[in-house]
Amino acid sequence: MFSFLRKSKQAEPAPAPAPKKPAPAAVATASAPQPEPRLASSPMAVPAPAAAHQPGEEIVVFESISAEAGSAVEEAAVYYANNMADQALATLSQYLQDYPEKKEMQPWLMLFDLNQVQNNKPAFDELSMQFVVKFERSAPIWKVPAAPAPARKLDAGQQKDLLTLGSKLAAGPQLEKLCQLAQSANNARVDLRDVVSVELGGCKLMREGLSSCRKKGKLLQLEGVDRLIEVVQKQIAADGHGDEDRLAWLLLFELYQWLGREAEYEELAIEYAVNFEISPPAWEAVKPALVAAQEKSPTPSPGATGAETGESFAMRGVISEASQSQLQDLSNYAADRQEIRISMAGVTRVDFVAVGNFMSALINLTQAGKKVLILEANEMVQALFLMMGVSEFATLIRKKSR
């Protein structure tokens, strides 16, 4: 059996073995699909050819788990691949109920993904609290669907209001003006460099103003934002455990949201959940706002590889027998590249009967001497890929969560 333990090490190069034949599709009936189980002691698939991954990414390494967990994982993966999400969820939930003493993470992570796909946030939040208690670490964060990115950027010549907040972040005219910006067409610079203390009323107003501006696509330059983060962190550490003190925590969540600092957001979320015994606010997958320190990005050199520029081929939706055009587009995309980065962040499911077509495309690429990386496939898809041997022809990559 298997699990996915995330390690930040580079996999050793390995020659691609002969392709496996995909198992026949499970019949979509009430009876459970019966994949052939692997012995826990059997050799595990090694992610094939080593390929460059970017900072903030890590290779998914497959290792063994117990026979009980592996059976539930494989059965759920086949159910889900056959568009039977309810049965997959019931299988994994039953495993957690039957083996409460086991601390094997993969069934939990698959359940998080199933609840996300089914848009069942209450179940997701309940599972999060159980996960925190059992594993003593941050649970995955609920992902709000991405909002459209702002259509335009600030020009150097555009008129921008300047809001200077002084040494104390407190309720007053400047913070009220920040809230009003969400209702106007103006952009603004917010100078936070002099802030040395915060009041809860100021935290509340600033959080409301930033949240409104972000959600409405207003472009702000936050100058000295790291200074404010440090001050708020000190406030929370010194006196941040009462119900009213949540206002400081919520401001810190919002600042991390603006800066796109998801890992720090997750670390704060676990502390928040433990301290207040309620679920933290959801991370919202929107483009980070215009922050002075992040405005400039280096231009890639003409000869840069896909790994260096972050370029990837994005697949979306359900990969099924009707996805032949996407696979042809992938082949065209890969024609003049040596390293192929396939983003599956937008893929909800890979149909069981389509795995063979997808593997054939990967085999053609590896036989042509190309290195293939699959980025951000969800937990259900990863389990299917391991079971079907996809990992022998591509390296699976995910974002580091911490």
Could you tell me the CATH number of the domain that includes residue 268? 3.30.750
- And the tokens for 18? 């002969």
For the stretch 119-144, pLDDT in tens is 899 999 999 999 999 998 889 988 87
State the total domains in the chain.
1
- The overall average pLDDT reported for the chain is 75
Residue 30: is its pLDDT beyond 80? no
Determine the average pLDDT of the residues in 66-72.
Answer: 91
Cα separation of 248 and 203, whole Å?
A: 6
- Distance, in Å, from the CA atom of 235 to the CA atom of 250, rounded to the nearest integer, reads 12
Question: Is pLDDT at 37 greater than 70 in this prediction?
Answer: no
- Residue 285: the pLDDT is 62
Output the CA–CA distances (angstroms, integers) from residue 169 to 164, 185, 233, in the order listed: 10, 25, 14
More confident site: 203 or 24: 203
List, as own/partner pairs, every contact residues 336-340 make where C-beta atoms lie below 8 angstroms and the sequence separation is at least 24, other chains included: 337/305, 337/306, 337/370, 338/305, 338/369, 338/370, 338/371, 339/51, 339/52, 339/305, 339/306, 339/307, 339/370, 339/371, 339/372, 339/373, 340/306, 340/313, 340/365, 340/370, 340/371, 340/372, 340/373
pLDDT band at 324 (very low <50, low <70, confident <90, very high): confident
Is residue 45 predicted with pLDDT exceeding 60?
Answer: no
| pLDDT (mean) for 279-306 | 49
Range from 19-28, 152-161, 337-346 carrying the lowest mean pLDDT: 19-28
Residue at token pair 């106007």: 184
Which range of residues forms the domain containing residue 191?
A: 160-294
Q: For residue 267, tell me if it sits in a domain.
A: yes
- Give per-residue burial for 30-39: e unless 16+ CB within 10 Å, then b: eeebebeebe
Out of 6-15, 18-27, 174-183, 226-235, the most confident range is 226-235
Domain contains 40: no
**pLDDT higher than 70, residue 60:** no
Q: Is residue 131 part of a domain?
A: no
Residue 380: what residue type?
Answer: M
Q: Token pair 């990992």 is at which residue? A: 391
What pLDDT is attached to residue 54? Answer: 52
Res. 320: pLDDT tops 80 = yes
CB atoms within 10 A of CB 388: 23
- What's the pLDDT at 257? 87
Would 141 be classed as within a structural domain? no
Mean per-residue pLDDT, 185-198: 77
CB environment 173-211: b (16+ within 10 A), e (fewer) = ebbeebbebbeeeebbbbbbeebeebbbebbbbbbbbbb
Highest mean pLDDT among 96-110, 252-266, 287-301: 96-110
Is 192 part of a structural domain of the chain? yes
Per-residue pLDDT, 286:
56
The percent of residues in the chain predicted with pLDDT above 90, rounded, is: 33
Mean pLDDT, to the nearest integer, of 290-299?
36
Q: CA angle 219-166-216, nearest 5°?
A: 20
196 in a domain, yes or no? yes
Using alpha carbons, list the distances in angstroms from residue 173 to 176, 177, 178, 179, 202: 5, 6, 9, 10, 11
Rg of the chain in Å (alpha carbons)? 24
Q: Phi and psi for 58 in degrees, rounded to 5? A: -145, 155
| pLDDT top residue among 341 and 42 | 341
* DSSP 8-state symbol, 188: E
Confidence of residue 311 (pLDDT cuts 50, 70, 90): confident
